[in-house]
Structure 1
């Protein structure tokens, strides 16, 4: 929706269908509240007699309007509570159904007279408004009625009326797409701009068929570009602006220029211009029951750790893990669990091997050097084109401790503090970047040599060694991974047979997964050479 409306005023249904914005932050309950107050002022004064008189003396209609008014008022008082918003959607559907039943009882002659003289009954307008809002919330019954409603308003429009063509674009677009639309939510709202998508499609179709080129808007100035950048929202779900701008750097690339997730030049400005000024998507928390089931099947001995890690994600807007460290013996599977956590949560995973790292390049290096680069988390965000990613700090205690060129642990210390990460000054892009949605999982054989200040930033979990009881599950997981690596299906590389499992169990009684992996691979490959080998 593009046309701004007067602050607080409830735009007409026709204006909403042609692109007017909802006041008060695209809120359905605010819009219903304002429309009721605008057309029935008696609700504000509490004068029930005047309210009944304004609806033709209908006690039922007056009671229905009063209930809708109180429901909208309660939703506004909840101030963004998600449960209250869902409750109001249910209440709005009940109101819409009851309102339609009462209006359909009117004599047909009365309806034709109103339409013939161009009189718009505010009750009809209220029903149409509620139909539109419920459609934008995904209510299927309302969506089926929205298409004929669009044609009704298009037929009633006059050529002299402003934006009459937008009504026909919307109606034709809806007809061509058969009512389908993408999930493109309005800013800070659960409402989906379905009519806007139909308008755009209808305009595109008519322009192509009639051979009329679309009017190209004038090139926006710097202030308009900044305003447009602030208005940008992701197609769906929560988002975060990681990098506000790169226009302070030398070069000519503009914020948002270039392919998303790619680069336009070898300079810092050109490289990060595609993500500058954009709201990058945050990965929504997936079905945690499914995630837990898959992880526990792969790591049956670590079920308690998996539960402790996933539990805080319940109810979060997006997937983010507070820094955690998996401590365990070599071969216990801690690095693989760290990686699989990110994969199952839908996060792009970057495994950063800390062993032998003797500088602080993890937090970036200045563009004044020929080898200048951004910090590792910002590079991961750029590759994923998403604000939430996972960095696995593999074998963190094995990083170098000399201070000649800086220390890795000092950089990790800064980035694992969320307030610092929210405005981290990257030396490559020379400005603050918001890395607060980046998750960190570290692994270590031992934490004895780890800086206590850094250790205090992590939740530490002791990774148990796998046991013999977990052999069938672990062997199946190893076989599946081998199939993926070799590009084979289960027909060509089936799981170990019971006899093969018994043979592996003779040599592995629990312990390192690496040893088990070698044994399983040997058993599977041995099928090709025969029992004599």
Structure 2
């Protein structure tokens, strides 16, 4: 195509671009102009009120689209008069980067409930596609962060694909190639109106890698083994609720156990990785549906009467979500304030399997897994928790995260947590034990710390920090009741054999505890309970 290409046409979809389709008019400004005209016709006739209504009564979004339209139109006019000058092209490229940043910011302001609802129902928003197209343009201009976004979009398109789609092989090759290259692009000099073919580079590299990986396992012309695994897993969806494909396949690992084979023997030795994780490979694992939040809030508030406000704050974002998932939270409070117990009980009440990971004195990065080349090789902690639970949504409690080691000889715990607590990155986390990408986006994290002093600012930016209130003596009866219930569970006794504290016993405890550490209160309650069997002193 050239300068005679019609301005108003039908550009390829973002998914088609990711699979290798060319830009409309083979230039960014023509493709952007055509897409804006197709999706928002009021731009063509300068109907600002109509545009305002079309974007949900948002003048901010309408003005953004008007600015993007003007930028593309100016360069289109310049190209019709001849080849655009270097200054015009540089200005347009700068505008593209600014558009991508601003549109991403505006879209991030949408409520999380709306975003999750659209994704679960597979509703398509042209603004999301526009944001993806801008990432496509900027990646071709050599912007590294845009290339990373483009890689995530490619994997998302692959997850949304249906078995047998014509573009599935191309999407898979692009996603695999981009992942192996870690989103890197070899920038090449091209005419000013064109882009570096990022998708083409990734797709070519991915085809070579996939061809070598499945040459002996898949006949010529068939879908690659990994694509088959994804397709077969999607043919057997979980009918009872939402689900997630955490591990596509273990066919690349040594052994003969098939994906989904429940006869795989558990174990952590490196030679048995395939058998250990075959039961969850190629299967849609259930995501725990959020229970009645009002009921959960009441139950937790009865156990933690001083924390009613923060319980509401933690559970409120779950309203409307299709499954139970919490954005990363850090509970900060004095020693013994009940942080760890509250974190655990939140997970239990939500129906999530809870893994408490003690961070104190952890001096390496083994939390994110270790290679099978070591005798102690193992998968990352979240994937281990998912395998134990048989569900894609679990809760990891990072207890005393501020006490984790800071040396970097063998990696740092906090560095690994950075990747796992980022929603997009966790969808494509490369597990070193299984040597493939796994989807850990259904895992929730609650960290605890006495203080955030000294914690990496980048880590703190991933967590919502909530201060734990100091327990008061007014809460003593409720706290003592909860502690007694925990003791009964630990000792395997029922309420007849170990009843709650009597008023006299509560008064005795109150003489020695005037609020503060729940750990101290626990010791006092256990002392009173044990004293029942000793009898009065002589």
| TM bucket, shorter chain | 0.5 to 0.7
In the alignment, does 2:329 pair up with 1:316? no
Q: 1:147: which partner in 2? A: none
In the alignment, does 2:255 pair up with 1:254? no
Q: 1:498: which partner in 2? A: 503
TM-score by length of 1: 0.57
Q: Deviations over 1:264-312 (max 9, x none)?
A: 9952222111111100000000111111111111111011110000000
In the alignment, does 2:436 pair up with 1:423? no
Shift of 1:428: 0.8
Q: Deviations over 1:446-472 (max 9, x none)?
A: 000100110111001111121010001
Distance 1:433 1:225, change over 3 A: closer
Distance 1:501 1:253, change over 3 A: same
1-structure distance, mates of 2:358, 2:473: 30
Q: 1:37: which partner in 2? A: none
The residue correspondences of 1:172-191 to structure 2 (distance < 5 A) are none
SS at match of 1:402: coil
The residue correspondences of 1:116-515 to structure 2 (distance < 5 A) are 227-259=231-263, 266-515=271-520
2-structure distance, mates of 1:248, 1:355: 36
Distance 1:234 1:264, change over 3 A: farther
SS at match of 1:410: helix
Preserved contact between residue 243 and residue 432 of structure 1 (Cα < 8 Å)? yes
2-structure distance, mates of 1:526, 1:325: 37
2-structure distance, mates of 1:225, 1:429: 16
SS at match of 1:267: helix
Preserved contact between residue 261 and residue 383 of structure 1 (Cα < 8 Å)? no
Shift of 1:262: 5.1
Shift of 1:258: 2.4
Shift of 1:225: 6.6
Q: Deviations over 1:106-139 (max 9, x none)?
A: xxxxxxxxxxxxxxxxxxxxxxxxxxxxxxxxxx
Distance 1:532 1:284, change over 3 A: same
SS at match of 1:428: coil
2-structure distance, mates of 1:264, 1:354: 21
SS at match of 1:432: strand
RMSD: 2.7
> Which of the two has higher C-alpha Rg?
1
Preserved contact between residue 318 and residue 324 of structure 2 (Cα < 8 Å)? yes
Q: Deviations over 1:394-426 (max 9, x none)?
A: 000111111111100000011111110010011
Q: 1:7: which partner in 2? A: none
SS at match of 1:352: strand
Shift of 1:390: 0.4
Shift of 1:530: 2.0
Distance 1:242 1:260, change over 3 A: farther
Q: 1:192: which partner in 2? A: none
Shift of 1:352: 0.5
Q: Deviations over 1:36-73 (max 9, x none)?
A: xxxxxxxxxxxxxxxxxxxxxxxxxxxxxxxxxxxxxx
1-structure distance, mates of 2:533, 2:119: 63
SS at match of 1:366: coil
2-structure distance, mates of 1:424, 1:524: 47
Shift of 1:475: 0.8
Task: Give the aligned length.
Answer: 322
